[in-house]
């Protein structure tokens, strides 16, 4: 499935204007802080509205300013790993992970529901977080939070995964461990992914293609 | 002595239920959505907190009196009289306690990181579900403060209640009005007892709230 984005957005200090596309694997968007990287992800996820542009996943257009198409975030089927993970503090790890599943229309069907929940348990096993399922996010470590947030983002089987600086909040040792797991994850799940990072080494490690944003454009 | 206590509890409970619903609704709508004239509506909601209770009472009397635009309508069409009934006391208590509920709920809502809402949205939740499962549970400690303070304010309401509900023993006489008239008619012993009950009750309520909020250590729960 080819993924295409053309986004124009007026920001406080500059205008963001970019166009890019990729077919599969991991696309890294590199750039300094304040370059507008998170805004790009928010536009793709439907959390921020671009002033102009077009966003399409294969045949499915989720935003087109000329055609007046703007599919709401909840219907875009995108997995989003936020920079601070945004785990719901009032829910346990398992409740966080199955939150998105419970919003799926097929969750109403008993057989489908069991299948979805089984898949959630499998994902938790794969990420080594099954033993944390009854804990609240404030009781687990940074690395565990990251894995929970990643599980929550992929368990709904999204058509695109957005990762916003997924390693920035981790200490050096945890980062090394997570890098290994992430490489493994990339092989297992094969979801087209956009990875935002300011670290060239991370994009070197994980990305199949790369773009660099500066002064609102791609260089 | 029991009658004003029971009536006060009944009036304050019902008034708190209404101020909870209205306070949470307006706090959410005015602070998380784009509403035109937000400052105007907010000022209107908070006004009873700064107005003298007699002014609030007088305005309610104009609105709900026999010739008032609401009171007249209810009397003419449904033969319902509001003033000098316990319902009037509920309305007065609700109006004066609403600013406390609103302010507490507002603080709780605006202090929430919008990223939780965004996360819920990308996970397929409707706006109502986001409110029900994420925003409201996270704002709950602030809302609880609002409920307790509103209840304490409602049970202590005097000025506006006296103007719209009067002081009819067994019908509209609450603890504060009973204290006032007990002092005025020289029944010091009754006044002392009611003052003691009122003070202990309010102390326990506020002490309990603070202890609960401290125990809950809400800040530490942020994920």
Residue A25 lies in a domain: yes
Separation of alpha carbons B74 and B77, rounded Å: 5
Inspect the interface and report whether the beta carbons of B116 and A86 lie closer than 8 Å.
yes
Measure Cα distances from A44 to A49, A57, B161, B184 in Å: 9, 10, 55, 71
Residue for token pair 């109502």: B128
Kindly state the percentage of chain A with pLDDT values over 90. 49
Nearest chain A CA: its distance from B42 CA (Å): 27
Burial readout A120-138 (b: 16 or more C-beta within 10 A, e: otherwise): beebbebbebeebbeebbe
Q: For B132, which residue in chain A has the nearest alpha carbon?
A: A90
At A150-164, the pLDDT tens digits run 999 999 999 999 999
Task: Give residue-wise pLDDT tens across range B125-147.
Answer: 999 999 999 999 999 989 999 99
In chain B, residues with a C-beta closer than 8 Å to the C-beta of A107 are none
| pTM (2 d.p.) | 0.83
Cβ pairs bridging A and B (under 8 Å): 75
Yes or no, beta carbons of B134 and A88 under 8 Å apart: yes
- Whether B207 shows a pLDDT value over 70: the answer reads yes
Q: How far apart are CA A195 and CA A163, in angstroms?
A: 5
Helix (H) or strand (E) holding A64: strand A60-64
In a domain, A184, yes or no: no
B222 pLDDT more than 60: no
Q: What is the mean pLDDT of residues A72-97?
A: 94
Average pLDDT over residues B196-204: 91
The verdict on B223 touching A (C-beta cutoff 8 Å) is yes
The answer for A 46-65 residues in CB contact with B (under 8 A) is: 46-47
* A43 belongs to a structural domain: yes
C-alpha–C-alpha distance, residues B114 and B109, integer Å = 10
Domains of chain B from N-terminus onward: 2-221 (1.10.3720.10)
pLDDT, one tens digit per residue, over A7-57 is 888 887 788 888 888 888 899 999 888 778 889 999 999 999 999 999 998
Domain range for A4 is 1-75+196-219
Q: Specify if A4 maps to a domain.
A: yes
| Cα four-point dihedral sign B5, B7, B10, B13 | negative
- Kindly identify which residue of chain B lies nearest to residue A98, measuring between CA atoms: B123
Number of domains in chain A: 1
- The pLDDT, as a whole number, for residue B218 is 47
Summarize pLDDT for B95-109 with one digit per residue, the tens: 999 999 999 999 999
Q: Is residue A209 part of a domain?
A: yes
Residue A10 in any domain: the answer is: yes
B contacts of A145 (beta carbons < 8 Å): 223
| Amino acid B211: pLDDT | 87
Q: What confidence category does residue B217 fall into, taking pLDDT thresholds of 50, 70 and 90?
A: low
Q: Is B167 on the interface with A (CB under 8 A)?
A: no
B124 touches chain A (CB under 8 A): yes
On whether any CB of chain A is under 8 Å from the CB of B221, the answer is yes
Q: Would you say residue A178 lies in a domain?
A: no
CATH number of the domain where residue A26 is located: 3.40.50.300
């Amino acid at each position: 499935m080819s993924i295409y984005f053309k986004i124009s957005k007026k920001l406080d200090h500059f205008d963001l204007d970019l166009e890019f596309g990729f077919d599969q694997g991991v696309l890294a968007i590199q750039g300094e802080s304040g370059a507008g990287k998170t805004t790009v992800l928010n536009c793709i996820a439907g959390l921020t509205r671009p002033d102009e542009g077009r966003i399409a996943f294969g045949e499915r257009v989720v935003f087109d300013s000329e055609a007046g198409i703007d599919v709401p975030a909840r219907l875009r089927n995108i997995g989003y790993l936020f920079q601070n993970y945004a785990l719901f503090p009032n829910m346990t790890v398992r409740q966080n992970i199955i939150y998105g599943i419970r919003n799926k229309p097929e969750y109403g069907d008993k057989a489908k529901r069991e299948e979805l929940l089984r898949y959630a348990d499998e994902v938790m096993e794969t990420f080594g977080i099954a033993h944390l399922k009854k804990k609240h996010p404030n009781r687990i470590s940074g690395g565990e939070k990251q894995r929970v947030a990643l599980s929550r983002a992929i368990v709904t089987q999204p058509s695109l995964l957005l990762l916003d600086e997924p390693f920035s909040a981790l200490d050096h040792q945890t980062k090394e461990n997570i890098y290994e797991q992430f490489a493994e994850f990339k092989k297992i799940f094969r979801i087209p992914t956009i990875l935002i990072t300011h670290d060239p080494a991370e994009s070197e490690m994980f990305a199949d293609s790369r773009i660099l944003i500066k002064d609102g454009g791609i260089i | 002595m029991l009658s004003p206590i029971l009536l006060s509890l009944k009036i304050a409970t019902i008034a708190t239920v209404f101020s909870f619903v209205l306070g949470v609704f307006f706090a959410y709508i005015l602070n998380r959505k784009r509403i035109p004239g937000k400052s105007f509506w907010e000022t209107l909601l908070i006004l009873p907190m700064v107005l003298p209770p007699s002014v609030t009472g007088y305005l309610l009397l104009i609105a709900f009196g026999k010739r008032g635009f609401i009171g007249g309508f209810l009397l003419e069409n449904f033969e319902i009289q509001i003033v000098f009934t316990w319902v009037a006391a509920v309305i007065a208590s609700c109006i004066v306690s609403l600013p406390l509920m609103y302010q507490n709920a507002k603080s709780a809502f605006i202090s929430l990181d919008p990223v939780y809402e965004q996360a819920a949205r990308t996970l397929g939740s409707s706006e109502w579900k986001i409110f029900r499962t994420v925003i409201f549970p996270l704002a709950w400690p602030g809302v609880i403060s609002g409920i307790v303070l509103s209840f304490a304010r409602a049970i202590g309401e005097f000025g506006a209640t006296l103007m719209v509900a009067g002081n009819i023993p067994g019908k509209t006489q609450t603890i504060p009005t009973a204290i006032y008239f007990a002092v005025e008619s020289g029944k010091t012993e009754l006044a002392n007892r009611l003052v003691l009950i009122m003070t202990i009750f309010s102390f326990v309520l506020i002490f309990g709230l603070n202890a609960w909020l401290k125990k809950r250590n809400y800040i530490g729960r942020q994920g």
